[in-house]
Copies of this chain bind each other. A is one copy, B any other.
Amino acid sequence: MSLFDFLDLSGTLVFAIAGGYRAVRHDLDFLGVLVLAVLTGIGGGLIRDMLLGATPAASLNDERYLIICVAGGLLALFAARKVAKHWNVVQFADAIGLGVFAAVGASKGLAYGLGPVGVMIMAALTATGGGVVRDVLVREVPAVIRHDFYATAALIGGGVYYLALMGDVAEPVALWTTAFVTTAIRFTAMWRKWGMD
């Protein structure tokens, strides 16, 4: 498995659990939990692939993504109480997913020939798109327009990726650096309570 695939699948699992757990809290039934887990896990990537023209979208063609989403949803469903008790762990994992998806999105944006702003947008969209779809379906105002340092962290991560590649940094190093920077900004924002309501 390539580093890109490893990061993408890890982010998908983390987001699927978070999405499934949100469905549990909204008292959705079995299928509702699975649908939200799948859409949160792969939603950002689906929107990114449609915008780039990378079709059929990767996560539809690769059964691993959907199996991982379903596993994440089942985990959220059957271990909801444990998930709730360790909510800070979920937040922690979500911040890691944000970083990982920012790296994946930036990499794919650059591969499709986008410039610096486009790469940053792809990073932020990949990292936040699934959460937006999830929030719209359960009728919450998406976190991305309420919390300042969520999408911003991914945007900055995308900029770091672009600069790194322009500066001839090796792709794996750029991917890890992007994920690290994005997650670190998000952690700092959570810790200092930047941009929270």
Total count of chain A residues near the partner, CB < 8 A = 49
Q: Which residues of B contact A113 (CB under 8 A)?
A: 56, 61
Q: Is the CB of A146 within 8 A of B55?
A: no
Query: Smallest Cβ distance from A188 to chain B, in angstroms?
Result: 16
* Contacting residues, chain B, for A117 (C-beta < 8 A): 63, 66-67
Select from chain B the residue with minimum beta-carbon distance to A112: B56
Taking a contact as CB atoms closer than 8 A, the residue among B32, B50, B112, B116 that contacts A50 in the complex is B50
Query: A residues 108-123 with Cβ under 8 Å of B?
Result: 109, 112-118, 121-122
Residues of B within 8 A of A51 (CB): 46, 49-50, 55-57, 60
A36 interfacial contact with B, CB 8 Å: yes
A25 to chain B, nearest CB (A): 13
Main secondary structure of the interface of A (DSSP, over half): helix
- Which of B28, B49, B141, B148 is close to A31, meaning CB atoms less than 8 Å apart? B148
Knowing A114-B61, A195-B29, A195-B31, the reply to whether A23 touches B145 (Cβ < 8 A) is yes
Indicate if A3 sits at the interface (CB-CB under 8 A).
no
Which residues of chain B come closer than 8 Å to A66, judged between CB atoms?
117-118, 121
**Which A residues lie at the B interface, using CB under 8 A?**
23, 28-32, 35-36, 46, 49-53, 55-57, 60-61, 63, 66-67, 109, 112-118, 121-122, 132, 136-139, 141-142, 144-152, 195
Across chains A and B, which 7 residue pairs bring their CB atoms closest together, nearest first? A53-B55, A32-B145, A60-B118, A31-B148, A66-B117, A63-B117, A50-B50
Given contacts A30-B148, A136-B136, 17 further A-B pairs with CB under 8 A are A29-B146, A29-B147, A31-B148, A32-B145, A32-B146, A35-B145, A50-B50, A51-B57, A52-B56, A53-B53, A56-B112, A60-B122, A61-B114, A66-B118, A66-B121, A137-B141, A138-B145
